[in-house]
């Protein structure tokens, strides 16, 4: 039995179903410019309406800080949702009180209603008991389909789950399945690729991964800090020299826990941080004082590819080099494609997410072949850090 209650466990017919979704979509001039988040919630809405329930959507938009702010209304998102769904979508200009209650009463079974921005009320972010009660009064069932907001214990992401029978929506369910298979109960060995700019922003993540994975491949700017910590000259590379002792601690912890750390063995260096800057490939111990490391070299790519052949699960966060600048995207692209190919070949389960990772994998043309790419950002990172996400915990059986 899955660890989480899902829509398969819910009796939806004739019910008022309060669904927490992510409608925090990018907008320009009142129009939705990227509908990825809308597409993600359609299966949940259709499951509810198809079963004869009323789908009543709760969401935040922007950061109105507990006050009504017309510029952060969810109203402009409604036409885009209706178009994607292929059905009318009603709107209530408050998420609690009379406007919400009236709109819900008027909504037919199988209908869809969007309630105004939950963050127009200070009680949302405070998870205030009276606000939770006001929301709970509007529904019979609570469904959370917003993994991206699950790291916050707000009224609509956590509080409500304790007041109404609570279930994971379809997109939440896919995310939880992917995450569970990647780190909680993975097929071993597990390899993690961690790249990106700085060690300081990923300390907790590295600490958690050394305890959970068998091989930890470190790339990107953060690898420079590890190389410097081993006494190597990294020239004028992005490097947090003050974190050398921390990097050494992480390496010692990893070795104590049986986690193998893989660092670049060769690097691509340039004298300026710019696309197409003149560059050369050198072993890691031959970086000159006036050079900076912008990518991992071909020997490192081969080394990582060889490691990939020894594992059954891959977790990925962060680019392997300065991937926005051609040709310093080469290692990110080659390694992402290798993971994608082994996944498509049925050899690997691969889960990626957080920050620039989605952009990097899209740039590599690799995202589609990964088993799962999370667009959740902060929630995905907190999960990689081993933190319990309040919105997820509230859905456990």
Q: List residues binding ligand AMP (CB under 6 A).
A: 195-198, 201, 220-221, 238, 293-294, 318-319, 321-324, 355-356
Rounded CA-CA distance 362/134 in Å is 42
Residue facing ligand AMP at closest CB distance: 196
Least separation in angstroms between residue 325's CB and ligand AMP is 7
Q: How far is the CB of 102 from ligand AMP (least distance, A)?
A: 45
What are 315's strand-pairing partners?
A: 192, 351
Is 355 considered catalytic here?
yes
* Closest to ligand AMP by CB, 124 or 295: 295
CA torsion sign for 370, 375, 379, 381 is: positive
CB of 209 to ligand AMP, least distance (A): 14
378 carries an active-site annotation: yes
Q: Which of 20, 37, 307, 342 is catalytic?
A: 37
Q: Which is nearer to ligand AMP, 161 or 366 (CB)?
A: 366
Token pair recorded at residue 108:
């037919």
Considering beta carbons, is residue 186 or 318 the nearer one to ligand AMP? 318
Terminal Cα-to-Cα distance of the chain (whole angstroms): 10
- What is the C-alpha separation between 15 and 52, in angstroms, rounded? 8
Q: What is the dihedral of CA 185, 186, 188, 189, to 10 degrees?
A: -120
**At its nearest, how many Å lie between ligand AMP and the CB of residue 381?**
9
Instruction: Give whole-number Cα distances, 170 to 8, 51, 142, 308, in Å.
Output: 10, 14, 13, 30
Smaller CB separation from ligand AMP, 198 or 312: 198
Rounded CA-CA distance 96/135 in Å is: 6
Contact 243, 225 (CB under 8 A): yes
Query: Known catalytic residue: 297?
Result: no
Residues 239, 235: Cα–Cα separation, whole Å: 9
* Of 126, 198, 236, 312, catalytic: 198
Residues 336-360 as b or e (16 or more Cβ within 10 Å = b): bbbbbebbeeeebbbbbbbbbbbeb
CB of 207 vs ligand AMP, minimal distance in Å: 16
Two tokens at 244?
A: 């050398």
Out of 66, 110, 207, 378, pick the active-site residue. 378
For the CB of residue 201, give the shortest distance to ligand AMP in the complex, in Å.
6
**Which lies closer to ligand AMP via its Cβ, residue 189 or residue 378?**
378
User: Among positive and negative, which fits the CA dihedral 116, 121, 123, 127?
Assistant: positive
Q: Which two tokens stand for residue 74?
A: 């969810």
Of 186 and 195, which has the nearer Cβ to ligand AMP? 195
Positions marked catalytic: 37, 198, 355, 378
């Amino acid at each position: 039995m899955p660890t989480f209650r899902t829509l398969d466990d819910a009796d939806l017919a004739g019910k008022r179903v309060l669904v927490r979704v992510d409608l925090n979509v990018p907008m320009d001039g009142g129009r939705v410019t990227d509908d990825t988040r809308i597409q993600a919630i359609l299966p949940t809405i259709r499951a509810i309406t198809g079963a004869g329930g009323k789908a009543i959507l709760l969401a935040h938009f922007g950061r109105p800080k507990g006050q009504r702010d017309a510029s952060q209304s969810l109203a402009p998102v409604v036409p885009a949702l209706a178009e994607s769904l292929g059905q009318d979508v009603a709107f209530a200009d408050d998420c609690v009180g009379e406007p919400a209650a009236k709109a819900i009463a008027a909504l037919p079974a199988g209908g869809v209603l969007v309630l105004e921005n939950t963050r127009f009320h200070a009680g949302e972010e405070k998870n205030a008991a009276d606000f939770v009660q006001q929301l709970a009064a509007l529904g019979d069932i609570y469904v959370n389909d917003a993994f991206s907001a699950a790291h916050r214990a707000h009224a609509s992401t956590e509080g409500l789950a304790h007041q109404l029978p609570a279930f994971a929506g379809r997109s939440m369910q896919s995310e939880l399945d992917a995450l569970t298979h990647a780190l909680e109960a993975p097929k071993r060995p597990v390899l993690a690729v961690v790249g990106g700019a700085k060690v300081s922003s990923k300390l907790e993540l590295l600490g958690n991964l050394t305890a959970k994975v068998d091989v930890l491949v470190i790339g990107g700017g953060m690898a420079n800090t590890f190389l410097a910590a081993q006494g190597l000259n990294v020239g004028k590379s992005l490097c947090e020299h003050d974190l050398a002792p921390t990097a050494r601690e992480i390496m010692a912890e990893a070795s104590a826990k049986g986690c193998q750390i893989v660092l670049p063995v060769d690097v691509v260096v340039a004298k300026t941080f710019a696309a197409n800057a003149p560059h050369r490939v050198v072993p890691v111990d031959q970086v000159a004082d006036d050079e900076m490391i912008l990518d991992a070299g071909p020997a490192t790519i081969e080394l990582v590819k060889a490691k990939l052949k020894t594992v059954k699960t891959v977790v990925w966060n962060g680019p392997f080099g300065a991937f926005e600048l051609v040709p310093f995207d080469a290692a990110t692209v080659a390694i992402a494609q290798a993971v994608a190919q082994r996944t498509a070949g049925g050899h690997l389960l691969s889960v990626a997410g957080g920050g620039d990772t989605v952009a990097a994998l899209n740039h590599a043309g690799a995202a589609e072949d990964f088993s799962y790419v999370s667009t959740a950002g902060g929630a995905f990172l907190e999960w990689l850090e081993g933190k319990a996400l309040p919105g997820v915990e509230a859905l456990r059986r």
